[in-house]
């Protein structure tokens, strides 16, 4: 903001100083999350490229049941046959070199139940990321995935005694094969899309959660996903089942080193909310800017159940992610609240999908997107109300905040309503940080950067206030880094 007749030379010099300091702060991703560990002690790293032999190797190594091995091979055929999607960001999608990816990388053969059992270097990584500390302070359980495998998992004893299962997906399959076989892939079949097929073929790690009837897990479970290797593909697979009347809050976080060539993260997450249960799934995605984040997340909500996707996307090169809820039981409710921050060379193509199948189902979708320094934010949403879903209520609100002329925001809402007796509300706004708002804030002693940050934080407040306090603080800090990192 230039007052009256422009800045004086002294101010210009001061502004340049601030800008260069800010650039250094922006490099903070590298220091805080972008560091890379030595791989010489790795247990196993598959050669680059994908074929049936790799799939066979993964399944054999994991000593999986026959049905899973068959599913993997069938899924690979689906993946190879399916064309690349022609929507989202085709150009970036076409740039993915599937032959140049390591599909399975294992740092260690062991899995720790205490951090002492985790290989020293990997433990150090998670220390740096603050995971053991967070676990001590406010989590009910943690799984930490490093490359393809979960290297640590723990759950509080009291929850264990109540029959709550929180483990990595591989262990889940081994120890709870019946439940897994009944539900795995029912919400997201491998043929759903090219990337769900890919995940089904080469999945490894992820979480398996089962909450028994009536059990309420009051404090969050957390999974942390870390990619370390260059040209790595991480394909975790998560299945969460909340039995009747139960409740669970699951949080995931993720980071990776910054490399000049790309990595791929392609997860599949299935949630099953049985009647009267409640699942909240919170994501703070903070991948480095060379990671493709192509994730399929979908939930089924039975009668009176409530599913909440709280989805924050800050990092990655390209994110394509549309958390979905199928409301199949009467009075089921979906809440999808998302924030996407697109900075330089980033495209966040995110959104939501709600399908009302049963009567009196309700959904609230709130999407907030911020784009800056040429970043691109896309909201892509689908609401479908089937015939017979009488009394369904839908509320969709998309707000975009564009911080400069080089940045871009698009909204593609689709509504397919086949039932008459429904209430559908949709609202979309696009705003810029206005001169008047900045002037008001600066007249009260805030610098332009402080003023902008305050407006941005205010903009995403509806999201932040849903996060546990520690995560809200962290998110605001990350946004601050994003804002500062590119000044000047």
Binding site for another protein (CB under 8 A): 1-8, 11, 435-437, 439-448, 450-451, 454-455, 457-462
CB nearer to another protein: pick between 83 and 445: 445
Residues contacting 388, CB < 8 A, separation 6+: 357, 358, 359, 419
C-beta of 457: minimal distance to another protein in Å? 7
Contact 106, 236 (CB under 8 A): no
C-beta of 458: minimal distance to another protein in Å? 3
Other Cβ atoms less than 10 A from the Cβ of 156: the count is: 18
Strands (E), 357-452: 362-371, 376-385, 393-402, 408-417, 423-432
Contact 230, 259 (CB under 8 A): yes
Torsion angle (degrees, nearest 10) of CA 244, 247, 249, 250: -30
CB nearer to another protein: pick between 4 and 38: 4
3-state DSSP assignment of residue 423:
strand
CB nearer to another protein: pick between 71 and 368: 368
C-beta of 444: minimal distance to another protein in Å? 4
Quick one: which H or E segment has residue 481? helix 469-484
CB nearer to another protein: pick between 10 and 99: 10
3-state DSSP assignment of residue 437:
helix
CB crowding 434-443: b at 16 or more within 10 Å, else e: eeebbeebee
C-beta of 456: minimal distance to another protein in Å? 9
Contact 451, 436 (CB under 8 A): no
CB nearer to another protein: pick between 25 and 455: 455
Contact 227, 147 (CB under 8 A): yes
CB nearer to another protein: pick between 19 and 454: 454
C-beta of 481: minimal distance to another protein in Å? 18
C-beta of 448: minimal distance to another protein in Å? 8
Torsion angle (degrees, nearest 10) of CA 154, 155, 160, 165: -80
C-beta of 223: minimal distance to another protein in Å? 29
Residues contacting 480, CB < 8 A, separation 6+: 453
Distance of alpha carbon 80 from alpha carbon 304, whole angstroms: 39
CB nearer to another protein: pick between 260 and 443: 443
C-beta of 464: minimal distance to another protein in Å? 8
CB nearer to another protein: pick between 60 and 432: 432
């Amino acid at each position: 903001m230039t007052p009256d007749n422009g800045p004086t030379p002294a101010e210009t010099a001061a502004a340049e100083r601030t800008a260069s300091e800010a650039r250094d702060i922006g490099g903070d991703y590298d220091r805080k999350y972008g560091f890379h560990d030595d791989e010489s002690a790795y247990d196993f790293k598959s050669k680059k490229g994908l074929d049936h032999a790799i799939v066979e190797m993964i399944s054999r190594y994991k000593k999986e049941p026959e049905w899973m091995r068959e599913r993997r091979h069938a899924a690979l055929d689906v993946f190879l046959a399916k064309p690349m999607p022609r929507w989202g960001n085709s150009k970036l999608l076409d740039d993915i070199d599937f032959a140049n990816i390591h599909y399975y990388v294992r740092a260690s053969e062991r899995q720790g139940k205490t951090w002492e059992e985790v290989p020293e270097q990997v433990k150090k990584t998670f220390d740096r990321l603050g995971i053991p500390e967070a676990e001590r302070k406010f989590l009910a359980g943690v799984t930490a995935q490093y490359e393809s495998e979960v290297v640590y998992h723990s759950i509080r004893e009291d929850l264990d005694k109540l029959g709550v299962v929180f483990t990595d997906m591989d262990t889940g399959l081994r120890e709870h094969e019946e439940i897994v076989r009944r539900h795995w892939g029912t919400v997201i079949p491998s043929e759903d899309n090219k990337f769900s097929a890919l995940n089904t073929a080469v999945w490894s790690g992820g979480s398996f959660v089962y909450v028994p009837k009536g059990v309420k897990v009051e404090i969050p479970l957390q999974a942390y996903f870390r990619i370390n290797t260059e040209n790595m593909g991480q394909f975790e697979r998560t299945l969460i089942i909340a039995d009747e009347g139960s409740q669970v809050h699951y949080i995931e976080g993720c980071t990776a080193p910054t490399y000049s060539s790309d990595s791929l993260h392609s997860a599949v997450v299935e949630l099953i909310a049985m009647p009267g249960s409640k699942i909240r799934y919170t994501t703070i995605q903070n991948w480095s800017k060379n990671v493709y984040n192509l994730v399929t997340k979908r939930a089924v909500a039975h009668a009176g159940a409530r599913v909440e996707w709280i989805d924050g996307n800050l990092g990655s090169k390209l994110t394509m992610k549309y958390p979905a809820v199928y409301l199949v039981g009467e009075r089921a409710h979906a809440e999808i609240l998302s924030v996407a921050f697109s900075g330089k060379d980033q495209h966040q193509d995110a959104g939501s999908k709600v399908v009302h199948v049963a009567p009196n189902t309700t959904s609230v979708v709130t999407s907030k997107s911020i784009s800056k320094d040429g970043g691109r934010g896309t909201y892509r949403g689908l609401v479908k109300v089937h015939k017979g879903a009488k009394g369904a209520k839908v509320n969709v609100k998309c707000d975009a905040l564009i911080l400069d002329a080089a940045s871009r925001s698009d909204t593609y809402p689709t509504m397919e309503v086949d039932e008459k007796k429904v209430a559908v509300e949709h609202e979309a706004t696009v705003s810029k940080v206005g001169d008047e708002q900045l002037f008001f804030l600066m007249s009260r002693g805030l610098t332009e950067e402080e003023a902008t940050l305050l407006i941005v934080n205010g903009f995403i407040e509806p999201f932040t206030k849903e996060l546990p306090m520690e995560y809200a603080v962290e998110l605001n800090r990350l946004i601050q880094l994003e804002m500062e990192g590119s000044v000047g």
